[in-house]
Structure 1
Amino acid sequence: MESECHRKIVKTGWRQSVMGSPLVMDPNSICRRSKPSGGANNELCQTQPEIIQEVAKGARLGMRECQHQFRHHRWNCTGHGKNLGKILQQDIRETAFVNGIMAAGVLHAVTRACSQGDLLQCGCVPSSSGGLNEQAMLTPNPALQDQHWEWGGCGDDVDFGYKISRQFLDTRKRKGLSDIRSLIDLHNNEAGRL
Protein backbone atom coordinates (compact mmCIF):
# COMPACT_ATOMS: atom_id res chain seq x y z
CA MET A 1 0.00 0.00 0.00
CA GLU A 2 1.36 3.38 -0.97
CA SER A 3 1.52 6.15 1.55
CA GLU A 4 -0.21 9.48 1.47
CA CYS A 5 3.27 10.93 0.95
CA HIS A 6 3.45 9.42 -2.51
CA ARG A 7 0.14 10.88 -3.55
CA LYS A 8 0.45 14.34 -2.10
CA ILE A 9 3.93 15.76 -2.55
CA VAL A 10 3.75 19.32 -3.73
CA LYS A 11 7.09 21.01 -4.22
CA THR A 12 8.80 23.61 -6.30
CA GLY A 13 11.13 22.88 -9.17
CA TRP A 14 11.13 19.44 -10.75
CA ARG A 15 8.91 17.88 -8.14
CA GLN A 16 6.09 20.21 -9.03
CA SER A 17 6.51 19.61 -12.74
CA VAL A 18 7.40 15.95 -12.59
CA MET A 19 5.63 14.74 -9.50
CA GLY A 20 2.95 17.14 -8.43
CA SER A 21 -0.10 15.49 -7.01
CA PRO A 22 -0.38 12.56 -7.24
CA LEU A 23 3.34 11.91 -6.98
CA VAL A 24 4.75 10.01 -9.92
CA MET A 25 2.33 7.13 -9.47
CA ASP A 26 0.89 7.96 -12.85
CA PRO A 27 3.39 8.53 -15.65
CA ASN A 28 0.67 10.45 -17.52
CA SER A 29 0.78 13.05 -14.73
CA ILE A 30 4.49 13.50 -15.31
CA CYS A 31 3.87 14.14 -18.98
CA ARG A 32 0.93 16.48 -18.44
CA ARG A 33 3.02 18.58 -16.08
CA SER A 34 6.03 18.68 -18.40
CA LYS A 35 4.07 19.95 -21.43
CA PRO A 36 4.16 23.65 -20.47
CA SER A 37 7.94 23.60 -20.14
CA GLY A 38 8.37 21.71 -23.42
CA GLY A 39 11.89 20.54 -24.13
CA ALA A 40 13.45 17.11 -23.86
CA ASN A 41 11.16 15.83 -21.10
CA ASN A 42 8.07 16.56 -23.15
CA GLU A 43 9.67 14.87 -26.15
CA LEU A 44 10.41 11.76 -24.06
CA CYS A 45 6.78 11.68 -22.98
CA GLN A 46 5.69 11.63 -26.60
CA THR A 47 8.25 9.25 -28.06
CA GLN A 48 9.50 7.05 -25.22
CA PRO A 49 6.84 6.61 -22.53
CA GLU A 50 8.59 3.53 -21.17
CA ILE A 51 11.34 5.79 -19.80
CA ILE A 52 8.69 7.83 -17.98
CA GLN A 53 7.46 4.59 -16.39
CA GLU A 54 10.95 3.99 -15.00
CA VAL A 55 11.25 7.58 -13.75
CA ALA A 56 7.99 7.00 -11.88
CA LYS A 57 9.30 3.73 -10.41
CA GLY A 58 12.49 5.47 -9.35
CA ALA A 59 10.62 8.25 -7.58
CA ARG A 60 8.53 5.69 -5.68
CA LEU A 61 11.69 3.77 -4.81
CA GLY A 62 13.29 6.96 -3.52
CA MET A 63 10.30 7.77 -1.31
CA ARG A 64 10.18 4.23 0.10
CA GLU A 65 13.88 4.40 0.92
CA CYS A 66 13.43 7.82 2.52
CA GLN A 67 10.66 6.41 4.72
CA HIS A 68 12.85 3.46 5.63
CA GLN A 69 15.86 5.62 6.53
CA PHE A 70 13.78 8.01 8.64
CA ARG A 71 11.51 5.36 10.20
CA HIS A 72 12.81 6.03 13.74
CA HIS A 73 12.79 9.83 13.47
CA ARG A 74 10.11 12.34 14.33
CA TRP A 75 9.70 13.16 10.64
CA ASN A 76 9.72 9.91 8.72
CA CYS A 77 9.40 11.20 5.16
CA THR A 78 5.64 11.20 5.30
CA GLY A 79 3.14 13.96 5.47
CA HIS A 80 -0.10 15.12 4.04
CA GLY A 81 -0.44 17.39 1.03
CA LYS A 82 0.49 20.97 1.72
CA ASN A 83 2.19 20.12 5.02
CA LEU A 84 4.73 17.89 3.29
CA GLY A 85 5.16 20.46 0.54
CA LYS A 86 5.96 23.12 3.14
CA ILE A 87 8.53 20.87 4.77
CA LEU A 88 10.23 20.13 1.46
CA GLN A 89 10.42 23.82 0.53
CA GLN A 90 12.53 24.59 3.59
CA ASP A 91 16.32 24.65 3.60
CA ILE A 92 16.73 21.74 5.99
CA ARG A 93 18.69 18.51 5.93
CA GLU A 94 15.55 16.44 5.32
CA THR A 95 14.98 18.30 2.06
CA ALA A 96 18.59 17.65 1.07
CA PHE A 97 18.13 13.95 1.77
CA VAL A 98 14.87 13.74 -0.19
CA ASN A 99 16.51 15.43 -3.20
CA GLY A 100 19.44 13.04 -3.10
CA ILE A 101 17.45 9.87 -2.54
CA MET A 102 14.99 10.70 -5.31
CA ALA A 103 17.87 11.29 -7.74
CA ALA A 104 19.38 7.96 -6.69
CA GLY A 105 16.03 6.19 -7.07
CA VAL A 106 15.49 7.45 -10.61
CA LEU A 107 19.06 6.58 -11.63
CA HIS A 108 18.70 3.08 -10.14
CA ALA A 109 15.32 2.34 -11.72
CA VAL A 110 16.38 3.46 -15.20
CA THR A 111 19.72 1.63 -14.99
CA ARG A 112 18.03 -1.56 -13.81
CA ALA A 113 15.47 -1.38 -16.61
CA CYS A 114 18.35 -1.07 -19.08
CA SER A 115 20.11 -4.11 -17.65
CA GLN A 116 16.93 -6.16 -17.75
CA GLY A 117 16.26 -5.23 -21.36
CA ASP A 118 13.07 -3.31 -20.55
CA LEU A 119 14.27 -0.19 -22.37
CA LEU A 120 15.30 -0.31 -26.01
CA GLN A 121 17.23 2.97 -25.76
CA CYS A 122 20.02 1.42 -23.72
CA GLY A 123 21.42 -1.95 -22.88
CA CYS A 124 24.64 -3.80 -22.28
CA VAL A 125 27.70 -1.72 -21.59
CA PRO A 126 30.62 -2.78 -23.79
CA SER A 127 34.08 -3.21 -22.32
CA SER A 128 36.84 -0.70 -23.03
CA SER A 129 38.02 -2.86 -25.96
CA GLY A 130 34.78 -2.18 -27.80
CA GLY A 131 32.97 -5.45 -27.14
CA LEU A 132 31.93 -7.52 -24.21
CA ASN A 133 34.93 -8.66 -22.23
CA GLU A 134 35.27 -12.25 -23.43
CA GLN A 135 37.93 -13.13 -20.84
CA ALA A 136 35.62 -12.07 -18.03
CA MET A 137 32.81 -14.11 -19.58
CA LEU A 138 35.01 -17.22 -19.73
CA THR A 139 36.69 -16.89 -16.32
CA PRO A 140 34.29 -17.19 -13.41
CA ASN A 141 35.16 -16.29 -9.86
CA PRO A 142 37.50 -19.06 -8.59
CA ALA A 143 35.37 -19.45 -5.47
CA LEU A 144 32.43 -20.41 -7.68
CA GLN A 145 34.21 -22.79 -10.08
CA ASP A 146 32.85 -25.92 -8.41
CA GLN A 147 29.30 -24.60 -8.64
CA HIS A 148 27.27 -24.07 -11.80
CA TRP A 149 28.03 -20.50 -12.77
CA GLU A 150 27.27 -18.64 -15.95
CA TRP A 151 28.22 -15.08 -16.79
CA GLY A 152 25.33 -13.03 -18.11
CA GLY A 153 27.64 -10.86 -20.18
CA CYS A 154 25.80 -7.57 -19.65
CA GLY A 155 27.05 -4.60 -17.66
CA ASP A 156 24.83 -1.90 -16.18
CA ASP A 157 24.32 1.16 -18.37
CA VAL A 158 24.72 3.56 -15.45
CA ASP A 159 25.57 6.41 -17.82
CA PHE A 160 22.11 6.24 -19.39
CA GLY A 161 20.43 6.15 -15.97
CA TYR A 162 22.55 9.10 -14.89
CA LYS A 163 21.59 11.07 -17.99
CA ILE A 164 17.86 10.47 -17.50
CA SER A 165 18.05 11.30 -13.80
CA ARG A 166 19.79 14.59 -14.58
CA GLN A 167 17.38 15.37 -17.38
CA PHE A 168 14.29 14.96 -15.22
CA LEU A 169 15.54 16.24 -11.90
CA ASP A 170 17.95 19.02 -12.79
CA THR A 171 16.43 20.69 -15.86
CA ARG A 172 14.37 23.36 -14.13
CA LYS A 173 17.08 24.02 -11.56
CA ARG A 174 19.72 24.71 -14.21
CA LYS A 175 17.66 27.55 -15.66
CA GLY A 176 18.02 29.51 -12.41
CA LEU A 177 21.64 28.75 -11.59
CA SER A 178 22.20 32.14 -9.97
CA ASP A 179 19.79 31.16 -7.21
CA ILE A 180 21.69 29.63 -4.25
CA ARG A 181 18.77 27.29 -3.50
CA SER A 182 18.94 25.89 -7.03
CA LEU A 183 22.67 25.31 -6.67
CA ILE A 184 22.15 23.50 -3.37
CA ASP A 185 19.40 21.32 -4.85
CA LEU A 186 21.61 20.48 -7.84
CA HIS A 187 24.40 19.55 -5.44
CA ASN A 188 22.07 17.30 -3.43
CA ASN A 189 20.74 15.65 -6.59
CA GLU A 190 24.29 14.97 -7.71
CA ALA A 191 25.26 13.59 -4.29
CA GLY A 192 22.39 11.14 -4.57
CA ARG A 193 23.53 9.96 -7.97
CA LEU A 194 27.09 9.22 -6.83
Structure 2
Amino acid sequence: MVIVHQCWVLTVLIFGIIYPTSCTAYFGLTLSKRLPLDRLTADCKGMRLTNKQRKMCYRDSGMADTLINAIRLSTMECTSQFKNERWNCSITHEHHRLNLLKTALKETSFIYAVSSAGLTHAIAQSCSSGELDRCSCDANSFDMDINKEAWKWGGCGDNLKYSVNFVKEFLKAQKGGEKRYQDYRAKVDSHNTVLGTRVVRKRMQKICKCHGVSGSCTTQTCWRQLSPFHEIGRDLKNKYENAMRVAMDNTANAIDQSLRVRRRERRPPPPVADNNDMVFMDHSPDFCRRGQYSYGTGGRICNKSSNCDSICCGRGYNIRNNIKITACNCRFNWCCDVICSKCTEREEVYSCKS
Protein backbone atom coordinates (compact mmCIF):
# COMPACT_ATOMS: atom_id res chain seq x y z
CA MET A 1 0.00 0.00 0.00
CA VAL A 2 1.18 3.50 -0.81
CA ILE A 3 -0.11 6.49 1.13
CA VAL A 4 0.66 10.13 0.50
CA HIS A 5 -0.26 12.06 3.61
CA GLN A 6 -2.72 14.52 2.21
CA CYS A 7 -6.31 13.32 2.32
CA TRP A 8 -7.14 14.42 -1.19
CA VAL A 9 -4.39 12.34 -2.83
CA LEU A 10 -4.72 9.13 -0.85
CA THR A 11 -3.79 6.04 -2.85
CA VAL A 12 -4.33 2.46 -1.70
CA LEU A 13 -4.04 -1.05 -3.04
CA ILE A 14 -6.88 -3.55 -2.62
CA PHE A 15 -6.42 -7.11 -3.88
CA GLY A 16 -3.74 -5.98 -6.31
CA ILE A 17 -5.69 -3.03 -7.74
CA ILE A 18 -4.51 0.52 -7.03
CA TYR A 19 -7.30 3.01 -6.37
CA PRO A 20 -6.64 6.76 -6.10
CA THR A 21 -9.35 8.47 -4.11
CA SER A 22 -10.42 11.62 -2.36
CA CYS A 23 -11.46 10.95 1.21
CA THR A 24 -15.00 11.09 2.48
CA ALA A 25 -16.50 13.27 5.17
CA TYR A 26 -18.99 11.61 7.47
CA PHE A 27 -22.67 12.24 8.11
CA GLY A 28 -25.56 10.69 9.97
CA LEU A 29 -25.00 7.12 11.13
CA THR A 30 -21.30 7.29 10.22
CA LEU A 31 -20.45 10.19 12.53
CA SER A 32 -17.83 9.28 15.12
CA LYS A 33 -19.62 11.51 17.63
CA ARG A 34 -22.75 11.12 19.69
CA LEU A 35 -25.86 11.55 17.59
CA PRO A 36 -29.25 11.71 19.37
CA LEU A 37 -31.13 9.53 16.86
CA ASP A 38 -34.27 9.61 18.98
CA ARG A 39 -34.27 13.39 19.35
CA LEU A 40 -33.49 14.60 15.85
CA THR A 41 -34.79 18.05 14.97
CA ALA A 42 -34.70 19.85 11.63
CA ASP A 43 -31.91 22.22 12.58
CA CYS A 44 -28.73 22.63 10.53
CA LYS A 45 -26.89 23.80 13.62
CA GLY A 46 -27.68 20.78 15.77
CA MET A 47 -26.87 17.92 13.39
CA ARG A 48 -23.12 17.55 14.01
CA LEU A 49 -22.23 18.85 10.55
CA THR A 50 -18.85 20.14 9.43
CA ASN A 51 -18.62 23.85 8.62
CA LYS A 52 -18.87 23.09 4.91
CA GLN A 53 -21.85 20.77 5.38
CA ARG A 54 -23.61 23.34 7.57
CA LYS A 55 -23.20 26.00 4.89
CA MET A 56 -24.67 23.64 2.29
CA CYS A 57 -27.54 22.89 4.65
CA TYR A 58 -28.34 26.58 5.16
CA ARG A 59 -28.43 27.25 1.40
CA ASP A 60 -31.83 25.58 1.10
CA SER A 61 -34.70 26.06 3.55
CA GLY A 62 -35.83 22.46 3.11
CA MET A 63 -32.44 20.78 3.41
CA ALA A 64 -32.53 20.29 7.20
CA ASP A 65 -35.75 18.27 6.95
CA THR A 66 -34.27 16.25 4.08
CA LEU A 67 -31.10 15.42 6.03
CA ILE A 68 -33.18 14.31 9.03
CA ASN A 69 -35.28 12.15 6.71
CA ALA A 70 -32.10 10.60 5.28
CA ILE A 71 -30.90 9.59 8.75
CA ARG A 72 -34.25 8.10 9.71
CA LEU A 73 -34.55 6.31 6.36
CA SER A 74 -31.17 4.60 6.69
CA THR A 75 -31.77 3.76 10.37
CA MET A 76 -35.14 2.11 9.72
CA GLU A 77 -33.83 0.17 6.73
CA CYS A 78 -30.81 -1.13 8.61
CA THR A 79 -33.09 -2.29 11.43
CA SER A 80 -35.48 -3.91 8.96
CA GLN A 81 -32.80 -5.80 7.03
CA PHE A 82 -31.17 -7.25 10.16
CA LYS A 83 -34.22 -7.88 12.36
CA ASN A 84 -33.79 -11.66 11.98
CA GLU A 85 -29.98 -11.68 12.40
CA ARG A 86 -27.80 -12.02 15.48
CA TRP A 87 -26.67 -8.45 14.95
CA ASN A 88 -29.98 -6.62 14.65
CA CYS A 89 -28.51 -3.23 13.75
CA SER A 90 -28.45 -2.00 17.32
CA ILE A 91 -27.13 1.41 16.27
CA THR A 92 -29.79 3.29 18.21
CA HIS A 93 -27.65 2.40 21.25
CA GLU A 94 -25.00 5.10 20.96
CA HIS A 95 -22.26 3.08 22.64
CA HIS A 96 -22.65 0.18 20.20
CA ARG A 97 -22.73 2.45 17.15
CA LEU A 98 -19.59 4.34 18.13
CA ASN A 99 -17.70 1.11 18.84
CA LEU A 100 -18.68 -0.28 15.43
CA LEU A 101 -17.36 2.85 13.73
CA LYS A 102 -13.96 2.32 15.34
CA THR A 103 -13.64 -0.97 13.47
CA ALA A 104 -13.98 -2.11 9.86
CA LEU A 105 -16.41 -5.01 10.29
CA LYS A 106 -18.88 -6.12 7.62
CA GLU A 107 -21.57 -4.48 9.76
CA THR A 108 -19.66 -1.20 9.72
CA SER A 109 -19.44 -1.37 5.93
CA PHE A 110 -23.21 -1.80 5.68
CA ILE A 111 -23.73 1.26 7.89
CA TYR A 112 -21.60 3.39 5.56
CA ALA A 113 -23.36 2.11 2.44
CA VAL A 114 -26.93 2.42 3.74
CA SER A 115 -26.21 5.88 5.19
CA SER A 116 -25.02 7.33 1.85
CA ALA A 117 -27.82 5.53 0.00
CA GLY A 118 -30.39 7.08 2.33
CA LEU A 119 -28.90 10.53 1.79
CA THR A 120 -28.90 10.13 -2.01
CA HIS A 121 -32.46 8.79 -2.05
CA ALA A 122 -33.86 11.46 0.28
CA ILE A 123 -32.39 14.40 -1.65
CA ALA A 124 -33.53 13.10 -5.06
CA GLN A 125 -37.09 12.68 -3.81
CA SER A 126 -37.10 16.06 -2.06
CA CYS A 127 -36.22 17.66 -5.39
CA SER A 128 -39.16 16.09 -7.22
CA SER A 129 -41.60 16.74 -4.37
CA GLY A 130 -40.74 20.44 -4.25
CA GLU A 131 -39.33 20.38 -0.72
CA LEU A 132 -36.01 21.85 -1.87
CA ASP A 133 -35.69 25.27 -3.49
CA ARG A 134 -32.44 24.72 -5.42
CA CYS A 135 -33.65 21.76 -7.46
CA SER A 136 -36.83 20.45 -9.02
CA CYS A 137 -38.04 17.53 -11.13
CA ASP A 138 -35.56 15.76 -13.35
CA ALA A 139 -36.30 17.21 -16.77
CA ASN A 140 -33.52 15.26 -18.47
CA SER A 141 -33.44 11.59 -19.23
CA PHE A 142 -31.17 8.77 -20.10
CA ASP A 143 -30.97 8.32 -23.86
CA MET A 144 -33.38 5.78 -25.25
CA ASP A 145 -33.10 5.13 -28.98
CA ILE A 146 -35.93 2.62 -29.15
CA ASN A 147 -39.42 3.76 -30.16
CA LYS A 148 -38.67 7.45 -29.71
CA GLU A 149 -41.72 8.32 -31.76
CA ALA A 150 -43.96 6.34 -29.40
CA TRP A 151 -43.08 8.10 -26.17
CA LYS A 152 -41.73 11.34 -24.75
CA TRP A 153 -40.13 12.43 -21.51
CA GLY A 154 -42.42 14.21 -19.07
CA GLY A 155 -43.93 13.84 -15.65
CA CYS A 156 -41.85 14.68 -12.59
CA GLY A 157 -38.86 12.40 -12.26
CA ASP A 158 -36.72 12.07 -9.13
CA ASN A 159 -33.69 14.29 -9.62
CA LEU A 160 -30.89 11.79 -9.12
CA LYS A 161 -28.36 13.89 -11.05
CA TYR A 162 -28.68 16.79 -8.60
CA SER A 163 -28.68 14.41 -5.64
CA VAL A 164 -25.50 12.57 -6.68
CA ASN A 165 -23.64 15.84 -7.27
CA PHE A 166 -24.83 17.24 -3.93
CA VAL A 167 -23.89 14.10 -1.99
CA LYS A 168 -20.47 13.97 -3.64
CA GLU A 169 -19.76 17.54 -2.53
CA PHE A 170 -21.46 17.14 0.86
CA LEU A 171 -19.37 14.08 1.74
CA LYS A 172 -16.12 15.41 0.32
CA ALA A 173 -13.68 15.91 3.18
CA GLN A 174 -11.92 19.24 3.47
CA LYS A 175 -8.18 19.29 2.83
CA GLY A 176 -6.28 18.67 6.02
CA GLY A 177 -9.21 16.92 7.68
CA GLU A 178 -9.11 14.52 10.61
CA LYS A 179 -6.17 12.15 10.90
CA ARG A 180 -8.51 9.15 10.54
CA TYR A 181 -8.97 10.09 6.87
CA GLN A 182 -5.27 9.55 6.18
CA ASP A 183 -5.07 5.77 6.39
CA TYR A 184 -6.09 2.61 4.60
CA ARG A 185 -9.32 2.44 6.55
CA ALA A 186 -10.39 5.72 4.93
CA LYS A 187 -10.38 4.04 1.54
CA VAL A 188 -12.61 1.23 2.78
CA ASP A 189 -15.08 3.74 4.24
CA SER A 190 -15.04 5.79 1.04
CA HIS A 191 -15.53 2.69 -1.12
CA ASN A 192 -18.64 1.61 0.80
CA THR A 193 -20.00 5.15 0.88
CA VAL A 194 -19.79 5.41 -2.91
CA LEU A 195 -21.28 1.93 -3.19
CA GLY A 196 -24.45 3.12 -1.46
CA THR A 197 -24.96 5.89 -4.01
CA ARG A 198 -24.14 3.50 -6.87
CA VAL A 199 -26.87 1.06 -5.77
CA VAL A 200 -29.44 3.87 -5.71
CA ARG A 201 -28.42 4.84 -9.25
CA LYS A 202 -28.65 1.27 -10.53
CA ARG A 203 -32.12 0.92 -9.06
CA MET A 204 -33.43 3.92 -11.03
CA GLN A 205 -36.33 2.84 -13.22
CA LYS A 206 -38.32 4.21 -16.14
CA ILE A 207 -42.02 4.73 -15.39
CA CYS A 208 -44.44 5.37 -18.26
CA LYS A 209 -48.05 6.47 -18.49
CA CYS A 210 -50.13 5.71 -21.57
CA HIS A 211 -52.13 8.30 -23.53
CA GLY A 212 -54.66 7.64 -26.26
CA VAL A 213 -58.29 7.29 -27.15
CA SER A 214 -60.29 4.82 -25.00
CA GLY A 215 -57.23 3.85 -23.00
CA SER A 216 -55.09 2.95 -25.97
CA CYS A 217 -51.35 3.49 -25.66
CA THR A 218 -50.77 5.61 -28.76
CA THR A 219 -48.13 7.63 -26.93
CA GLN A 220 -46.46 7.37 -23.56
CA THR A 221 -45.11 9.92 -21.14
CA CYS A 222 -42.09 8.55 -19.27
CA TRP A 223 -40.01 9.70 -16.35
CA ARG A 224 -37.30 8.34 -14.08
CA GLN A 225 -38.24 7.24 -10.60
CA LEU A 226 -36.30 5.85 -7.67
CA SER A 227 -37.10 2.37 -6.48
CA PRO A 228 -38.59 2.05 -2.98
CA PHE A 229 -35.78 2.32 -0.46
CA HIS A 230 -36.56 -1.13 0.92
CA GLU A 231 -35.49 -2.62 -2.44
CA ILE A 232 -32.24 -0.66 -2.26
CA GLY A 233 -31.73 -1.91 1.29
CA ARG A 234 -32.29 -5.47 0.09
CA ASP A 235 -29.60 -5.03 -2.57
CA LEU A 236 -27.17 -3.69 0.03
CA LYS A 237 -27.98 -6.59 2.37
CA ASN A 238 -27.12 -9.01 -0.45
CA LYS A 239 -23.81 -7.20 -0.96
CA TYR A 240 -23.21 -7.47 2.80
CA GLU A 241 -23.75 -11.24 2.62
CA ASN A 242 -21.16 -11.44 -0.17
CA ALA A 243 -18.77 -8.78 1.14
CA MET A 244 -15.06 -9.26 0.47
CA ARG A 245 -12.37 -8.90 3.11
CA VAL A 246 -9.40 -6.77 2.12
CA ALA A 247 -6.02 -6.77 3.83
CA MET A 248 -3.34 -4.10 4.16
CA ASP A 249 0.36 -4.41 3.34
CA ASN A 250 2.64 -1.88 4.98
CA THR A 251 4.95 -1.16 2.08
CA ALA A 252 5.30 -1.73 -1.64
CA ASN A 253 8.18 -4.12 -0.87
CA ALA A 254 5.89 -6.16 1.35
CA ILE A 255 3.40 -6.37 -1.50
CA ASP A 256 6.12 -7.59 -3.89
CA GLN A 257 7.34 -10.09 -1.30
CA SER A 258 3.83 -11.47 -0.72
CA LEU A 259 3.38 -11.91 -4.46
CA ARG A 260 6.67 -13.84 -4.71
CA VAL A 261 5.65 -16.08 -1.80
CA ARG A 262 2.27 -16.69 -3.39
CA ARG A 263 3.88 -17.75 -6.67
CA ARG A 264 6.39 -19.97 -4.88
CA GLU A 265 3.65 -21.74 -2.91
CA ARG A 266 1.35 -21.83 -5.94
CA ARG A 267 -1.53 -20.35 -4.01
CA PRO A 268 -4.64 -19.56 -6.00
CA PRO A 269 -4.94 -15.85 -6.76
CA PRO A 270 -7.21 -13.97 -4.36
CA PRO A 271 -10.59 -12.78 -5.60
CA VAL A 272 -10.62 -9.25 -6.92
CA ALA A 273 -12.96 -6.71 -5.36
CA ASP A 274 -14.52 -4.28 -7.80
CA ASN A 275 -16.64 -1.15 -7.44
CA ASN A 276 -19.82 -3.15 -6.93
CA ASP A 277 -18.50 -5.16 -3.96
CA MET A 278 -18.90 -4.24 -0.33
CA VAL A 279 -15.52 -4.53 1.39
CA PHE A 280 -14.38 -4.84 5.01
CA MET A 281 -11.15 -5.41 6.95
CA ASP A 282 -11.94 -6.97 10.35
CA HIS A 283 -13.64 -10.25 11.19
CA SER A 284 -16.96 -9.87 13.02
CA PRO A 285 -17.68 -11.38 16.45
CA ASP A 286 -20.57 -13.83 16.76
CA PHE A 287 -22.78 -11.22 18.52
CA CYS A 288 -24.17 -14.01 20.74
CA ARG A 289 -23.29 -12.40 24.06
CA ARG A 290 -23.75 -8.85 25.25
CA GLY A 291 -20.65 -6.85 24.36
CA GLN A 292 -19.28 -3.65 22.95
CA TYR A 293 -21.11 -4.00 19.63
CA SER A 294 -24.57 -5.28 20.60
CA TYR A 295 -26.87 -6.39 23.41
CA GLY A 296 -26.36 -10.03 22.44
CA THR A 297 -29.22 -12.35 21.61
CA GLY A 298 -30.49 -13.24 25.09
CA GLY A 299 -34.23 -12.59 25.26
CA ARG A 300 -34.55 -12.03 21.50
CA ILE A 301 -37.79 -13.20 19.89
CA CYS A 302 -37.16 -15.81 17.21
CA ASN A 303 -39.02 -18.04 14.76
CA LYS A 304 -38.86 -21.71 15.75
CA SER A 305 -39.10 -22.95 12.17
CA SER A 306 -36.47 -20.67 10.65
CA ASN A 307 -33.94 -18.90 12.87
CA CYS A 308 -34.13 -19.85 16.57
CA ASP A 309 -31.14 -22.18 16.33
CA SER A 310 -29.01 -19.49 14.71
CA ILE A 311 -30.08 -16.47 16.76
CA CYS A 312 -30.02 -18.31 20.09
CA CYS A 313 -26.47 -19.55 19.41
CA GLY A 314 -27.22 -23.09 20.62
CA ARG A 315 -28.40 -21.92 24.07
CA GLY A 316 -31.98 -22.96 23.39
CA TYR A 317 -35.12 -20.91 23.81
CA ASN A 318 -38.02 -20.32 26.17
CA ILE A 319 -41.63 -20.81 25.12
CA ARG A 320 -44.34 -18.45 26.31
CA ASN A 321 -48.05 -18.85 25.59
CA ASN A 322 -49.91 -15.66 24.79
CA ILE A 323 -53.66 -15.21 24.42
CA LYS A 324 -54.48 -13.00 21.46
CA ILE A 325 -57.96 -11.46 21.04
CA THR A 326 -59.00 -10.65 17.49
CA ALA A 327 -62.15 -9.58 15.64
CA CYS A 328 -63.84 -12.45 13.80
CA ASN A 329 -67.13 -13.53 12.20
CA CYS A 330 -67.69 -9.97 11.01
CA ARG A 331 -70.89 -9.09 9.17
CA PHE A 332 -72.30 -5.95 7.63
CA ASN A 333 -75.50 -4.60 9.20
CA TRP A 334 -77.56 -2.31 6.95
CA CYS A 335 -76.98 0.58 7.33
CA CYS A 336 -74.08 1.13 8.17
CA ASP A 337 -72.33 -0.93 10.83
CA VAL A 338 -69.88 -3.80 10.83
CA ILE A 339 -70.58 -6.19 13.70
CA CYS A 340 -67.84 -8.60 14.81
CA SER A 341 -67.38 -11.24 17.45
CA LYS A 342 -64.31 -11.50 19.66
CA CYS A 343 -62.22 -14.60 19.18
CA THR A 344 -59.33 -15.76 21.33
CA GLU A 345 -56.28 -17.35 19.81
CA ARG A 346 -53.43 -19.06 21.62
CA GLU A 347 -50.00 -18.03 20.36
CA GLU A 348 -46.60 -19.49 21.18
CA VAL A 349 -43.76 -17.00 21.47
CA TYR A 350 -40.14 -18.18 21.39
CA SER A 351 -37.34 -16.18 23.01
CA CYS A 352 -33.65 -17.01 23.28
CA LYS A 353 -32.26 -18.10 26.63
CA SER A 354 -29.63 -15.84 28.15
Is this a same-fold pair by TM over 0.5?
A: yes
Q: Go from structure 1 to structure 2 and tell me whether the alpha carbon gap of 1:170 and 1:92 turns closer, same or farther (over 3 Å shift).
A: farther
Q: Which amino acid aligns with 1:124?
A: C
Cα root mean square deviation, aligned: 3.3
- Which structure is larger by alpha-carbon Rg, 1 or 2? 2
Q: Which amino acid aligns with 2:192?
A: N
Q: Which amino acid aligns with 1:166?
A: K
**Alpha carbons 1:162, 1:193 under 8 Å: kept:** yes
Please, which runs of 5 or more residues in structure 1 have no aligned partner?
1-11, 130-134, 141-150
- Matched residue SS, 1:123: coil
Matches within 5 A, 1:9-48: 13-15=26-28, 20-23=34-37, 25-28=40-43, 30-32=44-46, 33-34=48-49, 37-39=50-52, 41-48=53-60
Structure with higher helix content: 1
Matches within 5 A, 1:108-119: 108-119=121-132
**What displacement does 1:63 show?**
1.0
Identity of aligned residues (%): 27
Q: Go from structure 1 to structure 2 and tell me whether the alpha carbon gap of 1:163 and 1:155 turns closer, same or farther (over 3 Å shift).
A: same
Q: Which amino acid aligns with 1:153?
A: G
Q: Which amino acid aligns with 1:192?
A: G
Q: Go from structure 1 to structure 2 and tell me whether the alpha carbon gap of 1:98 and 1:74 turns closer, same or farther (over 3 Å shift).
A: same
Q: Go from structure 1 to structure 2 and tell me whether the alpha carbon gap of 1:137 and 1:76 turns closer, same or farther (over 3 Å shift).
A: farther
1:153 corresponds, among 144, 152, 155, to: 155
- Matched residue SS, 2:173: helix
Question: Which stretches of structure 1, 4 residues or more, deviate above 3 A after TM superposition?
Answer: 12-20, 135-140, 167-170, 172-178
Q: What residue in structure 2 maps to residue 9 of structure 1?
A: none
Number of residue pairs aligned between Structure 1 and Structure 2? 164
Q: What residue in structure 2 maps to residue 62 of structure 1?
A: 74
Kindly indicate whether residue 114 of structure 2 is the aligned counterpart of residue 101 of structure 1: yes
1:163 corresponds, among 165, 170, 173, to: 165
**What displacement does 1:104 show?**
0.5
Q: What residue in structure 1 maps to residue 194 of structure 2?
A: 190
| Larger RCO: 1 or 2 (CA < 8 Å, sep 6+) | 1
Distance in 1 (alpha carbons) for counterparts of 2:184 and 2:175: 10
Structure with higher strand content: 2
Deviations 1:72-116 (A, max 9, x none): 111111142212210232110000001000100111111011111
Matches within 5 A, 1:68-79: 68-79=80-91
Q: Go from structure 1 to structure 2 and tell me whether the alpha carbon gap of 1:64 and 1:128 turns closer, same or farther (over 3 Å shift).
A: closer
Q: With structure 1 as the length reference, what TM-score do the two structures score?
A: 0.70
**What displacement does 1:174 show?**
8.8
Please, which runs of 5 or more residues in structure 2 have no aligned partner?
1-24, 199-354
